[in-house]
Structure 1
């Protein structure tokens, strides 16, 4: 196995002289629970924000995923979504990380991971693993599905949202009018008041940074609220995204826990790895068609965060955040809209 981690370009950063700190058996793999050689590095020069590997190289190789953000190395999407799109055969997934993680027994996880590692060693030495047979159709499947996957990754939205916006994704970019329409749909002034529509079980997050991974967001909701997410859709370039819960009851329980008796005046605040995020109920939707659209959206996210920050202060004697100038306007609609003009774009 290689002495270097398997990471994507986004996690490595733009520093051409990157230095990594290697620690043998320094961490426990998030999937198979085995100790593995961990790496830590700083993607940007002159900052204290670092990245590290969260899974072992064996599990990363099985998923063809980044050891840090856990996204596919080529398409930069969730490996489970990739496998569903590509139609990967189930019998090839006997020792996949998803199968390993599904085992409750730690011994079973370690055994499966060891079997997987031996298969890779046999493959590197030229011997085909016993549980895998040649599949001549797989390359053709990958080739025909590549175009579909690339189109999906351009918007970073869930499959349901993508199916309704597949026609618009064929265009180069959104017009100013269309972007304004999209912005007014996003609940920048929304809150965590329980919406009337029982089908809504997703929340809108904004204030996302490059260092915050999908896996860490899922881990946060699991640790803090004992809630499992059905999907995590983060668009780092647009600085916003969505989390979809497995059920409406689970989403309501999380909303009540975040509010904790406070009045739902505007988006609530959560902090994940020292990254403050604003959260409100919201439907999953497309967040721009290309990098330019998403960069324009990120500028407006930054502006809205600045407005919300002015109304919030952190007392010296407490870590709790309280509003200094409470909003006097009553928001009756949980999907209240922040109105933008064309001049701001």
Structure 2
């Protein structure tokens, strides 16, 4: 075998990309260019076959940014990195289904991991197909899913010359003449979007869904507990703790402060150590939490009432104290 072929061992070669309907575009006769080993994958850094095409009139040219193996591992589009089934960010999907990716984030093992996953995944099979997920999470994704293509996402980028006030091309300019909006949604990292961590778009979707379900975080930031009601009669403190941690794979056991189970009223208080963790749990349980085959209702805990000042315990000012003050 030639030396060049040995160096290409483990590199990915494909005939057609894995794309969502939005990125592919509405034109059934789309023309694509193909370049073998055109770039390194944005997640595993392995060279792969790159595809480039124009999804429609007035749209910008699009290209694949991750390899097919990484796309199958997370069941996402090779271009926009959104879930192929629901059209949502991976952080939204993984939070709803209680799924945690075991893919390494470091440069040391990610190429080795991708090669092993490539041998396990056959055809277009996804790594998420065999996972057991809760019915509440699936129902939540069905409500949030984008069923129709969103071709607005294929628009040209904003003209940098227009933003500086220097573009003189007018209507002939192939880019959009709009002022860029500076917020957290305009700064997204490919790695974070793929692994479902610190994704601003996902946080916005999850927070809006939690508010619509009546789980808006209380103004009192000291509230870090959630209230579970209508628990099954077979529930115990141990089973509740187990289901809570299993539904929140990104939460460490040490971040769970305590679980107070009131067996008589079939309710429980889930106390977290940090407010951010409690908000993550509320977003994941917006459609309820499944425990022992039954759906449990979730609400935010209440603020502790401020302790009233005990006037009887205060010293009474006598004549001597008044004189000392004067």
* TM-score normalized with structure 1 length: 0.38
* Higher Cα Rg, which structure: 2
